[in-house]
Amino acid sequence: MSNPFKTLALAGVATLALSASALAEIKLGATISETGPASFLGDPEAKTLKLLVEKINAAGGIKGEKIKLFLYDDGGDPNKARTFATRLVEEDGVVAIIGGTTTGTTMAVMPVAGENKIPFISLAGAIEIIDPVQPFVFKTPHTDKMACEKIFEDIKKRGLSKVGMLSGTDGFGASMRKQCLAVAPAWGMTIVADETYGPKDTDMTPQLTTIRGKEGVQAIVTPGFGQGPAIVTRNYNQLSMTIPLYQSHGVASNSFIQLAGAKESEGVRIPGTALLVADLLAADDPQKKVVTEYKALFEGATKTPVSTFGGYAHDAFAIFVDAAKRSKSFKAVDLRDAIEGTSKLVGTTGTVTMSAKDHIGLDLSSFRMLEIRNGGWTLVK
């Protein structure tokens, strides 16, 4: 008796072969958390992708072939992300996937990309995504570890070393806290306090008081995103604290200053990307052109300010386009090799040079240490 699944598989292969021969466009897939708790990340990402695809198609596409974008909203649910990834691969026949706004959704897409040998460029932060390196998984944002190192580097420059940590218990905060604790000794930092707060907490005064009470504490580092870090900043002011306060790249956006208040966030330092300070960059800065162009495109079309997160999507798309131009063919496996061969590609987040061992391709220099002054950003020299 013939296996019904086998018959079906054959039929499937036949359909695929047919559609492959009729292929006249490059199919790019994306599963992004446009709605749900991570929508403040996903929304600019999705808009960016749509804009960039439009732009490149208007300019004639890649090697004369247009890009067709399949974009799904996973709402931040890993189970949905996995389903959409399957849909992108099996149903839409994409040659690469961009997305995974959060670490959870990224982790759900990773097995699908690996099993089907489709390159996947994630937009999520955690270091677990690219360490250990998986052949088909890449990512554009800095890792939490790099943010910690950038902060510690700056604290060290100020001649300080005793750090109090106040971390959110959300995925981002928890992951960054772990990385910070791990790299602290290498930068000569002593963690004298290690406090946490819940993502929905509305008052962090007790934790800050505890940290202030620790002997010799010289700086506060607060991994976390969402409203928590803004509340920490307000409480910090209410307590009239003066030791340097460092926020994470997770809140490197103008909405943080609005939430925390311009007066309250005065002097707060944040490791951020060049995108936030596009106007302040020196004319000869290698990133100047890219960030100014993206900023103009995004702000022109959406009438909302650019955010670091949209920049991650911009870079993922730039990496894909750059790879597609160099690739032997538009087949997924060739594209993967080309993505791994990305070299000195200037993006909004930094200059990307990938290798078989490094699927993120950024170094510390891509982070800029920013300081909030008069409700705006300044570069720390």
Give the nearest distance from C-beta 172 to other proteins in angstroms.
8
- φ/ψ of residue 310, rounded to 5: -60, -35
SS (H, E, C) 241-258: CCCCEEECHHHCCHHHHH
Angstrom CA distances, 171 to 34, 105, 234, 246, 336, stand at: 18, 12, 23, 19, 28
Site string for other proteins, 45-74 (x = CB under 8 A): ---------------------------xx-
What Cα–Cα distance (Å) separates residue 249 from each residue in 149, 177, 243? 12, 13, 19
Question: Of 112-141, which residues contact other proteins (CB under 8 A)?
Answer: 115, 126, 128
Closest CB 190 distance from other proteins, rounded Å = 22
Q: Does 193 bind other proteins (CB under 8 A)?
A: no
**Looking at beta carbons only, is 116 or 378 nearer to other proteins?**
116
Instruction: Assess 83 for contact with other proteins (CB under 8 A).
Output: yes
Q: What is the number of other CB atoms lying within 10 angstroms of the CB of residue 202?
A: 10
Position 364 contacts other proteins (CB under 8 A): no
Restricting to residues 11-30, name those near other proteins by CB under 8 A. Answer: 12, 15
Among 17, 55, 111, 190, binds other proteins (CB under 8 A): 111
Yes or no: say if 341 and 335 are a contact pair by the CB < 8 Å rule.
Answer: no
Q: Which two tokens stand for residue 354?
A: 């990938």
Using CB under 8 A as the binding rule, whether residue 218 contacts other proteins is answered as no
Query: Which of residues 169 and 351 has its CB atom nearest to other proteins in the complex?
Result: 169
Q: Which is nearer to other proteins, 78 or 376 (CB)?
A: 78
Cβ-count burial of 334 within 10 angstroms (0-12 exposed, 13-18 middle, 19+ buried)? middle
Length of the chain: 381
Stretch of 7-15, 282-290, 340-348, 366-374 contacting other proteins, by CB under 8 A: 7-15
* Residue 204 or 318 with smaller CB distance to other proteins: 204
Closest by Cα among 308, 199, 298, 313 to 249? 308
Structure tokens at 40: 């403040």
154 lies in the site for other proteins, by CB under 8 A: no
User: What backbone torsions phi and psi does residue 2 show, to the nearest 5 degrees?
Assistant: -80, 145
Please state, in angstroms and rounded to a whole number, the distance separating the CA atoms of residues 211 and 251: 21
197 binds other proteins (CB under 8 A): no
Of positions 149, 170, 195, 315, contacts other proteins by CB under 8 A:
170
Closer Cβ to other proteins, 175 or 287, answer by number: 175
Decide: is 35 part of the binding site for other proteins (CB under 8 A).
Answer: yes
Stretch that binds other proteins, among 103-111, 292-300, 346-354, 365-373 (CB under 8 A): 103-111
Closer of 104 and 244 to other proteins (Cβ): 104
Dump the DSSP string for 260-296: H-TTTTTT-EEEE-GGGGGGGS-TT-TTHHHHHHHHH
Q: Which of 78, 261, 305, 376 binds other proteins (CB under 8 A)?
A: 78
Q: Cα–Cα distance between 98 and 214 in angstroms, integer?
A: 44
Contact flag: residue 108 with other proteins (CB under 8 A): yes
Structure tokens at 227: 């409203």
Query: How far is the C-alpha of 258 from the C-alpha of 255, rounded, in Å?
Result: 5
Q: Of these, 91, 203, 279, 299, which contacts other proteins (CB under 8 A)?
A: 91
Residues 232-251 that bind other proteins (CB under 8 A): none
Q: How far is the CB of 91 from other proteins (least distance, A)?
A: 4
- Chain residues binding other proteins by CB under 8 A are 4-5, 7-9, 12, 15, 35, 72-73, 76-80, 82-83, 86-87, 89-91, 103-104, 107-108, 111, 115, 126, 128, 169-171, 174-175, 178
